[in-house]
Structure 1
Amino acid sequence: MTNIANPLANASRSGALLDLAMVVVVLVGVKQSLLPYTIVYAGPASTFAAMLVATFLLHRRGFGWSDLGLRWPESWLKTAGLTAAIFAVFLIVAGGGQAVVGQFFPDIGASGRFDFVKGNLVGYLTIMALVWTHGSFFEELLFRAFIITNGEAALGGTRAASLTAVVLAAIFFGYRHYYYQGMHGAIVTGLIGLLFGLIYIWIGRRNILPLVFAHGIANSIAQTSRFLS
C-alpha cells in the first residue's frame, strides 16, 4: 500500500492529540446532550458542530480541508470509476459483515429512528439533505480525514501509526451508531469504517470524493428503500 504523505506529519504529537481530543469531545458531547430530545437530529447536530471546530483547528495550523483530500478532481471519469469500485467493495464487506455478526448479535435495524421517512415526501427530502451533508461529506471528512490524519500524527507518523489510527477511527465510527443500531450495527459499521479508513490512507488524501460519493449513495439507497416501504 502506497501511503500519500500526511499533511500534518510535521505537527507536534501533543498538538495533534489535543486537536483530535477536542473534535471527539464535541462529537460525543453534543450528541449525548441532544439524544434525550431528538434521536434523529442529535448525530447531525454533533457532526455540524465538530465540522466548525475542526475547520477552525485546521485553519489555525495553516491548513484546510483540501490538504486532507477535499479537492476538485482532475478527472470526473476516474472519480466515478473509483466511486463504483469502492461501492462494490462496500457491498461485499457490509453483506459479509452482516452475515457473520448476525450469528452473534441480533440485527435490530435502525430501531425506528427513520420510520418517519416511510411514505413521507417531506421527511424523505429532509433526510436526503442530511444524507448528503452529515451522512456523507461530514462523516468522511471527520471520521476519515480529520481523525485518522491527526491520530496518525499523534502516534508518531509511522506505518504502524497509520494503521492504528485507522482501527481506532473505525471503532469510534462503530460506537457512534450503537445507540440506535445495537451491537450488530456497531460492529458492521465499524468494519465499513475500517474499509473506508484503509482506502483513505491509500488514495483518499489525494481526493476523498469517491469515499464521500460511495457513502452518500449507500445511505441514499437505504433511505429511498424506507420511503418506498
Structure 2
Amino acid sequence: MSEDRGGGRQAALVDLLVVVGVLVSVKQAVLPFSVVYAGPASTFSAMIVATFLLYRRGMRWADLGLVWPESWLKTLGWTAAIFAVFLATAGLSSVLADQFAEDIGTSGRFDFVEGSWLGYLTVMALVWTHGSFFEELLFRAFVITKTEGALGGARWATIGAVVIGAIFFGYRHYYYQGLHGAFVTGMIGLVFGLIYVWIGRRNILPLILTHGLANSIAQTSRFLG
C-alpha cells in the first residue's frame, strides 16, 4: 500500500510511533492495578488514536482491509485454512521454544475464568473485541502498513514491516507468558503478518475470525477446567 494518500514516510513514522507509544504507555500504566485489563485498556485506547490518525490522513480502516466480504463462504474457507496454519505454527514454535525457555502458560492471568460464568462471559467479550478485532487491526493492519510506509514501501520494507510487527506482537505477550510465550506468539505474528500482506489488505476478516476462534477455544477449555 502506498503512503502517498497517508502523507508520506514521515507521516507514517509519526503515526506509528504515536500508536505504539499509546499501546506501551497505557499498558504499563494499568499493569500495577490489573494484569487482566492492561492489554485491553491499551488496545482500546490505541484504536481510538489510530482511527483518528487514519481519518486525519484521509483514510479509513476499510483501506487497511476491514471490509464486508463479497463472499462469506470464501471468507470462512480462508478462516479454516488460516486456522490450520495457526495450529501448525503454534505447535512447531512451541516445540522450538521448549529448547530454550520454560513454558509458564499465562501465569494465572485467566484463572478467574475456570468454572465461573461471569468470568467466562467477561473474557469472551474481551476475546471478540481486544483479542481479535483490536489486535489484528492494530498489530497487523496498522503497524505493518505504517512501518512499511515509514521504510519507503519497497518489497524489502514490506518484509521488514512484517518482522518488526511480529517482534512487537511477541513482546506484547512477554509480561505474562514469559520468553516461551513471547517466541510462540511472535512466530504466530510473523505468519499472520505474511498472510495479511498476501490477502489481508483486501479482507482482514479471516485473520480476525481465526484469532477470535483460537482464543475462544482456549478460554472455553479453561472455563471447563
- Runs of at least 4 residues off by over 2 Å: 7-11
In structure 2, the partner of 1:27 is: 23
Q: Deviations over 1:134-153 (max 9, x none)?
A: 00000000000000000000
Q: Distance in 2 between matches of 1:21 and 1:110?
A: 28
In structure 2, the partner of 1:220 is: 216
Structure 1 residues 119 and 222 mapped into 2: Cα distance closer, same or farther (>3 Å)?
same
1:176 counterpart SS class:
helix
* Pair 1:211 & 2:207 matched: yes
TM-score, length-scaled by structure 1: 0.97
Per the TM alignment, residue 12 of structure 1 is displaced from its structure 2 partner at its CA by 1.3
Q: Distance in 2 between matches of 1:129 and 1:187?
A: 26
TM-score, length-scaled by structure 2: 0.98
Native 8 Å contact 2:3 2:9 kept in 1:
no
Per the TM alignment, residue 8 of structure 1 is displaced from its structure 2 partner at its CA by 2.6
Q: How many residues align?
A: 224
1:168 counterpart SS class:
helix
Native 8 Å contact 1:84 1:214 kept in 2:
yes
Structure 1: 5+ residue runs without aligned partners?
Answer: 1-5
Match of 2:67 among 71, 90, 97: 71
In structure 2, the partner of 1:3 is: none
Native 8 Å contact 1:9 1:157 kept in 2:
no
What is the aligned-residue identity percentage? 71
Native 8 Å contact 2:148 2:160 kept in 1:
yes
Native 8 Å contact 1:31 1:45 kept in 2:
yes
What's the RMSD between the two structures over aligned residues? 0.7
Q: Which residue type is aligned with residue 110 of structure 2? A: F
In structure 2, the partner of 1:167 is: 163
* Pair 1:8 & 2:3 matched: yes
Per the TM alignment, residue 7 of structure 1 is displaced from its structure 2 partner at its CA by 4.8
Native 8 Å contact 1:7 1:68 kept in 2:
no
Q: Deviations over 1:41-61 (max 9, x none)?
A: 000000000000000000001
Structure 2: 5+ residue runs without aligned partners?
Answer: none
Counterparts of 1:101-116 in structure 2 under 5 Å? 101-116=97-112
In structure 2, the partner of 1:189 is: 185
In structure 1, the partner of 2:126 is: 130
In structure 2, the partner of 1:37 is: 33
In structure 1, the partner of 2:139 is: 143
Q: Distance in 2 between matches of 1:73 and 1:7?
A: 23
In structure 1, the partner of 2:14 is: 18
Q: Distance in 2 between matches of 1:125 and 1:33?
A: 25
Q: Which residue type is aligned with residue 178 of structure 2? A: G
1:160 counterpart SS class:
helix
Native 8 Å contact 1:113 1:180 kept in 2:
yes
